[in-house]
Structure 1
Amino acid sequence: MNNWEYHSCPPQTDHKLKCECPKYRIHMKISITQKMNYNLNVSEIKEITEQWLKSIFPLNISLNYVFISHLSQLTEQNNIKIKEGRNVLPKTEWFSSLVYVTVSPAAAVDETQALLWTLLIPTYNHSEHIILQTDLESLNIYPQATIFEDSMNSTETSFKSTFYRVHMNLTVNGSVEDTAEAILLWLQQTLGGRHRIEVLNFKLITIPKKDGMSKSLPVFRYSCTFQVKALPSVNVTETGKIIFDLITKGFTNSSFTINVSSDEISILHIEPGFCPEDTTLTVYGQYIWASTPAQDNSVMKCEKGHHDAVRLCKLDDSTEEAIWDPPDFSKCEKVLTDINDLESVTVTASNSADVVDMIENLLQNQTDLNTSQLNTLLQKLSDVAHFGIMTTQLANDIISVVSDLFVCTSFLAEATNKILSITNQVGNRMDFSGDYHNTTVPSLALQLINLDPLLFQGLTFGVSSFQTGLPPEIFINQTFAEQSDSGTVVSISLPVALETFFPQNKRSRVQFHFYGIENLFQDHNSSLVLNSYVVSASVTNASVIDLKDPVVITLLHLQHKEDRDMVQCVYWNLDRNDGKGGWDDNGCQVKYSNATHTSCLCFHLTHFGVLLDISKTPINPKDDMILTIITYLGCGLSSLFLGITLLTYMAFEKLRRDYPSKILINLAGALLGLNMLFLINSWLASFNNYGLCIAVAAILHYFLLATFTWMGLEAINMYLAFVKVFNVYVPAYILKFCALGWGLPLIIVSVVLAVDKNCYGTTHSQTQAEDFSSFCWLQNDMAFYVTVVAFVVLILICNISVLGVVLVQIRGMQLSKEEGRCSRMLHEARVVASLTFLLGLTWMLAFFTWGPMRVPFLYLFSLLNTLQGFFIFLFHCLMKENVRKQWRIHLCCGRFKLSGYSDWSGSVMQGGRAKSVKLAHTPSETTSEQKISRSSQKDEN
Structure 2
Amino acid sequence: MPDSLSNPGLIFYTTFVTAVQSQIDNTLNNRANSEGSFVSTVTVIETPKKTVNLRVVVTTIKEVDSDNRSSFITNQITQLSHLYTQTFPILSTDVILLDGKCPAETTSDTKGKFQWKPVYPAEFSTVPCPYNSVASATRICSTDPSGQPLWNAPDTSSCQYTNQVTQTLTELANTNVDSSNANTIQSDLLTLSRESSSFTDVDITLSVEVIEDLLVEGSLYTNTQKSQDMVETMSNILNSPENVITESETTYKSSERFVKTVESLANGIVPSSGEFTAVKENLALAVRQSDPDNFSGITMTASVSQTQGISKKGITIKDGVDPTGIQSGVIIPSSFFQTVGGNSPRLAFAVYGNNKVFKNAVTKNLNAPLVTPINVKSVNEVNGPVISTSVQNTNVQGLKQPVVFRFKHFDDSSDRPQCVFVKTTGSSSMEWSSQGCTVKEHVKGSHTDCECNHLTSFALLMDIYQTGGGLSEANKLALTYISYIGCGVSLLGLLLTLLTYFMFRKLRVNNPSKILINLCMALAVTNIIFLVGMQEYTLDNDIGCKIVAVALHYVLLSAMCWMLIEAFYMYLALIKVFNTYFSHFLLKCCLFGWVFRVLLNGSSKKITKSDNKSSISQRLKGAIALIVLLGLTWAFAIFAIDGGGIVFQYLFTIFNSLQGLFIFIFYCLLKTEAQQAWKRKLGRAPPKYSGPTMSKGDTTSNTYTSEVSESKKEFTDISKEIDASYPETRLKSKGNTKRYPSYSESNT
Larger strand proportion of the pair: 1
TM-score, length of structure 2 as denominator length: 0.46
TM-score, length of structure 1 as denominator length: 0.37
Indicate the structure (1 or 2) with the bigger Cα radius of gyration.
Answer: 1
